[in-house]
Copies of this chain bind each other. A is one copy, B any other.
Amino acid sequence: MSLSPTAQSGRPVVPSRARWQPLGLDQVRITGGFWADLQDRNARTMIDHCERWIETLGWSGNFDAAVDGRLPADRRGREFSDSEIYKLLEAMAWEVGRTGDPELESRLLALTARIAAAQEPDGYLNTMFGRPGQGERWSDLEWGHELYCAGHLIQAGVARARTVDDWSADPLVRVVLRVADHVCGVFGPDGDQRVCGHPEIEVALVELFRVTGERRYLDQARQFVDRRGHGVLADIEFGRAYFQDDEPVREATVLRGHAVRALYLASGAADLAVEDDDQELLDAVTRQVRTTLARRTYLTGGMGAHHEGESFGQDWELPPDRSYSETCAGIASVMTNHRLLLQTADPRHADAVERTLFNVLAASPSAEGTAFFYTNPLQQRLPGDVPDPDVASPRASSSLRAPWFHVSCCPTNVTRTVATLSSYLATADDHGIQLHQYAPATIRTGDLHLTVATGYPLDGRIEVSAVSAPDAWSLTLRVPSWAVGAVLTRADGTQLGVDPGYSTVPGPRAGETVTLDLPVDPRFTVADPRVDAVRGQVAVEAGPLVYALESVDLGADVATARVTADSPRRDADGRVLVRARVDQVPARDWPYGATAETTPGEVRDVALVPYQAWGNRGPSTMRVWLPHG
């Protein structure tokens, strides 16, 4: 029996060996529900929105200016702005692969042509460096983002290669191969022995090796991974941990420094370890990620507790109000945990993917798809202002979603990830199929054709039906860590209680259904007592969704809200309610003393919203963690 995919087609990650092999975009299709809505929003609005901003601000025009010899005078945007065009190209490539939209493909090709025209004869391609009046090529590896940009360009090429019939003829892929060869020439064994201040090239080169089979790309990735951590970059005020140059990858015990950098590096190192059969390296990355999940991750799955350096805090340092939880770090965490899931088959990585998709990735775009959160705090102390829809925000944190940012890494990152969401749902091995994430979907691989029907995450019932199936196969279903009391109903109707983790049952035959019932009633969650910042507080979750209290629902600032011990519940409309009151706190000259008297308010029902939906109804204060008792 072969249920494993045999081609690279439509798979964002293609390990040559894996406990579980990912399925491609053409094998798993999301057909409805929460994630289909987001994919529709991406197709209808978000990709267009990004393209329009990139054009309006002149960031794509930098390539035209390069061709016309108008650089650096006419250059627009930050030093890494090229990467936004590349991430958008990657999103377009996956989206074309997913939908076959010819109009989108023509836009992709047009953008590709402008980029290709700016490529220099030796393969170098970057609008920020190398021309008279600009910094020399590779003269600022700490901050210049040249290899980072090259990495995102390569990722776009990889996406294209995996979604076209003949990748070797594709114009984007051809640009990418020349860029990659140039990088290998400059940074190879006898070349420049440094690394990029922002990891990204590593993961890109491994995937390009997987596409092409060219060993030199893998070798170059290994060199970049091995060099880092030995102080090859300059010390900076943030310290070398900022770009993970403080400690070799295989010696580190936890992720640290700039969260996106750390997680991109972890993804690349994991991919490298797989292709090089380097179990020690894979174990090192796995250990780092698991410790990070256990000690440095917000309830939402968000990573990065410091605004300073957009970085991880220390263990247990997870203040809700100062949660940075950059959208890109969430995406990078999904990338990393997905890779580790494929290799280790450990459910905690799928749990992390789910939590982060629902509560970080999905939180970023507005309901309309025309504005984004860059940071994702778990507490908003000031209602703030509605950002101007025509002005890019000069800063990352905002009280409400902004249309664009001077540093606008997140929107394009969201678009490329949403286009590939279906790749996280299911995997295959020689015995059968594993379902990790639940959404209405169809799954076709080999002889197998399944449908998944569910109202998840609001409803906990997941029905997996076979339209056609081989005689004997195994269906493995993930029970999330919070789903204590889950029940699995086999195709023969027998029921069994299943613990969190993976449960395997005989796969349904054509016309049969296996049903998983997950308990998604709202529940209180408390934190490890070492998470000092949320002591004496509870959060409300229901299924994989983290909930939040907004002042627009409370009718008052959330600062002094308290919930009672009564369990949260759902009302007839599906809303999650808690019993809560708003305490009055007297004004004082000095906020510390022998006592802290308050006047309790009246207890009443208050509705919460899923965290990912907060901030869609105008300015509001908000909190995930609620004082209780």
**A interface residues, Cβ below 8 angstroms from B:** 235-239, 290, 293-295, 297, 299, 306-308, 313-317, 319-322, 348, 351, 379, 381-382, 394-395, 406, 481-482, 484, 523-537, 539, 559-560, 583, 585, 587-596, 598, 625, 627
| CB pair A237 B394 closer than 8 Å | yes
Which 10 pairs, one residue from A and one from B, show the smallest C-beta to C-beta distance? A528-B591, A536-B536, A307-B308, A535-B536, A314-B381, A308-B308, A319-B319, A526-B596, A525-B592, A533-B533
The prevalent SS among residues of A at the interface is loop
Q: Which of B583, B585, B590, B592 is in CB contact (< 8 Å) with A526? A: B592
Contact in complex: B294, A528 (CB < 8 Å): no
Task: With A294-B590, A395-B237 as known contacts, state yes or no: A320 contacts B532, CB within 8 Å.
Answer: yes
Instruction: From known contacts A317-B321, A317-B381, A381-B314, infer whether A594 and B528 are also in contact, taking CB-CB under 8 Å.
Output: no
Known contacts A237-B395, A533-B319, A536-B535; decide if A592 and B381 are in contact (CB<8 Å): no
Q: How far is B391's CA from A235's CA once the two chains are assembled, in angstroms? A: 14
29 pairs of residues in contact across A and B, judged by CB atoms under 8 Å: A236-B394, A290-B589, A293-B590, A294-B587, A294-B588, A294-B590, A297-B591, A299-B592, A306-B307, A306-B308, A306-B322, A308-B308, A315-B381, A316-B381, A317-B321, A319-B533, A321-B532, A481-B589, A525-B593, A526-B594, A526-B595, A527-B591, A528-B585, A528-B592, A529-B560, A529-B585, A530-B560, A532-B533, A535-B537
Please indicate the chain B residues that have their CB under 8 angstroms from the CB of A313 in the complex.
321-322
In the bound complex, what is the Cα–Cα distance between A382 and B315 (angstroms)? 9
Q: How far is the CB of A110 from chain B (nearest CB, A)?
A: 33
A235: chain B residues within 8 A (beta carbon): 394
Given contacts A526-B595, A532-B321, contact A590 B481 (CB under 8 A): yes
Chain B residues lying within 8 Å of A625, measured Cβ to Cβ, are: 532
Most chain B beta-carbon neighbours within 10 Å: one of A235, A239, A351, A536? A536
For A531, list chain B residues within 8 Å (CB).
591
Q: Which residues of B contact A394 (CB under 8 A)?
A: 235-237, 239
- Cα–Cα distance between A321 and B559 once the two chains are bound (Å): 21
Q: CA of A623 to CA of B82 in the docked complex: distance in angstroms?
A: 45
Q: Looking across the interface, which residue of chain B has its beta carbon closest to that of A298? A: B592
CB-based contact B559/A527 at 8 Å:
no
Complex contacts, A321 vs chain B, CB 8 Å: 313-314, 317, 532
A307 and B235 alpha carbons, distance in the complex (Å): 19
Contact A594-B524, Cβ < 8 Å, known A307-B307, A533-B319, A583-B529: yes
Cα distance A406–B319 in the bound complex, in angstroms: 29
Q: Which residue of B lies closest to A320 (CB)?
A: B532
| Minimum C-beta distance from A452 to chain B (A) | 25
Contact assessment for B527 and A592 in the assembled complex, using a CB-CB cutoff below 8 Å: yes
Shortest beta-carbon distance from A614 to chain B in Å: 18
Q: A306-B307, A536-B536 given as contacts; is B627 within 8 A of A529 (CB)?
A: yes
Can you name the residue of chain B whose Cβ is closest to the Cβ of A583? Answer: B529
Chain B nearest Cβ from A224, distance in angstroms: 25
Contacts of A532 in B (CB 8 A): 320-321, 379, 533-534, 537, 625, 627
For A528, give its contact among B317, B539, B596 (CB under 8 Å): B596
In Å, the complex CA distance between A532 and B585 comes to: 13
A593 CB to closest chain B CB, in angstroms?
6
Distance, CA A527 to CA B295, complexed state (A): 26
B594/A535 in contact, CB under 8 A: no
Contact check, A591 vs B237: say whether CB atoms are below 8 A apart: no
Which residues of chain B are near A589, meaning CB under 8 Å? 290, 293-294, 348, 481
Q: Which residue of B lies closest to A525 (CB)?
A: B592
Interface centre among A530, A588, A598 (most CB of B within 10 A): A530
**A525 / chain B contacts, CB cutoff of 8 Å:** 592-594
In the assembled complex, the CB of A589 is this many whole angstroms from the nearest CB of chain B, namely 5
List 6 extra interface pairs beyond A306-B308, A351-B590, CB under 8 A. Answer: A294-B589, A306-B307, A314-B321, A317-B321, A524-B594, A532-B533
User: Assuming the A-B contacts A530-B560, A533-B533, A535-B537, are A238 and B308 also in contact, with contact meaning beta carbons closer than 8 angstroms in the complex?
Assistant: no
Alpha-carbon separation in the docked complex, A533 to B317 (Å): 11
User: Contacts of A299 on B, CB cut-off 8 Å?
Assistant: 592
Q: Which residue of B lies closest to A593 (CB)?
A: B525
B307 touching A593, Cβ below 8 Å:
no
Give the CA-CA distance A237 to B533 in the complex, in Å: 27
Collect the chain B residues with CB atoms within 8 Å of residue A307's CB: 306-308
Chain B residues, CB < 8 A from A590:
293-294, 348, 351, 481
Query: Which of the listed residues A317, A381, A589 has the most CB atoms from chain B within 10 Å of its own CB?
Result: A589
- Report chain B residues within 8 Å CB of A588: 294, 528
In the complex, chain B residues whose CB is within 8 Å of the CB of A320: 532
Q: Please give the distance in Å from A385's CB to the nearest CB on chain B.
A: 12
